[in-house]
């Protein structure tokens, strides 16, 4: 990433990507174009840092350990196995109330990409409009969420360590493009259905 490319992004929101694998197949192939919002977030991130960063490394796959030392793999790819593939995760944020007091929140988020700037590993995410308590998902089995669309608020970079755990999310087919549903993961089903039997 250099000054010329940043100016190009400011003009048309696009950027040339040097793919490390299958370069011949991917150059000029529109299927491998990066999401416009991802490019805009990287541009904003570089402008904010105001340093001489010349290279931004991007990754379409992240593989790391989360809770209970379990290995988790996340994809954020414009064209993987025939279509775009953007995984979801619960992301931890530290927010402040009107009095300036800090509090923790968890937001269901779509992962748009993984980047490294000056050695700092980050994820580019699109967050839901509101935080979601995991207790609500455990109680209701399926929980409706709305993705945020305001660029300055809902499209952000977060440290990789902010990703808490993967989510199973599906869209509201035939409904709003921003409406989705978070589903309780299968490892929690036995407890959920057991509680239903006891309550009955």
pLDDT in tens, 32-84: 778 888 888 988 888 777 666 667 888 999 988 776 677 889 999 988 888 89
Q: 5 in a domain, yes or no?
A: no
Q: 154 in a domain, yes or no?
A: yes
Q: 24 in a domain, yes or no?
A: no
Hey, what are 152's tokens?
């300055």
- pLDDT tens sequence across 122-161: 999 999 999 999 889 888 888 999 999 999 999 999 999 9
By percentage, how much of the chain surpasses pLDDT 70? Answer: 78
Q: 169 in a domain, yes or no?
A: yes
Triad 2, 153, 126: Cα angle to 5°: 75
By percentage, how much of the chain surpasses pLDDT 90? Answer: 38
Q: 18 in a domain, yes or no?
A: no
Query: In terms of residue numbers, what domain contains 141?
Result: 57-199
Q: 10 in a domain, yes or no?
A: no
Question: How many structural domains comprise the chain?
Answer: 1
Non-local CB neighbours of 154 within 8 Å, separated by 6+ positions: 126, 127, 129, 147, 148
Please name every residue paired with 108 in a beta bridge, in sequence order, or none if there are none: 90
- pLDDT at residue 188 in the model: 66
Q: 52 in a domain, yes or no?
A: no
- pLDDT at residue 35 in the model: 83
CA-to-CA distance for 159 and 162, rounded, in angstroms?
A: 5
Q: How many CB atoms lie within 10 A of CB 39?
A: 20
Its pTM stands at 0.84
pLDDT tops 80 at residue 19? no
């Amino acid at each position: 990433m250099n000054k010329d490319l940043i100016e190009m992004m400011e003009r048309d929101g696009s950027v040339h990507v040097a793919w490390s694998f299958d370069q011949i197949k991917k150059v000029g192939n529109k299927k491998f174009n990066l999401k416009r919002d991802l490019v805009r977030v990287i541009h904003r991130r570089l402008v904010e840092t105001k340093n001489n960063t010349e290279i931004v490394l991007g990754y379409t796959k992240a593989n790391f350990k989360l809770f209970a030392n379990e290995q988790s793999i996340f994809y954020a790819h414009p064209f993987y196995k025939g279509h775009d593939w953007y995984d979801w995760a619960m992301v931890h944020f530290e927010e402040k109330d009107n009095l300036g007091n800090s509090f923790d929140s968890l937001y269901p988020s779509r992962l748009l990409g993984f980047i490294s700037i000056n050695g700092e590993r980050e994820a580019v995410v699109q967050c839901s409009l509101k935080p979601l308590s995991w207790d609500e998902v455990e109680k209701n089995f399926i929980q409706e969420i709305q993705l945020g669309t305001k660029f300055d608020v809902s499209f952000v970079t977060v440290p990789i360590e902010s990703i808490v755990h993967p989510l199973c999310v599906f869209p509201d087919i035939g409904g709003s493009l921003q409406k989705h549903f978070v589903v309780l993961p299968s490892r929690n089903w036995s407890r959920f259905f057991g509680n239903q039997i006891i309550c009955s």
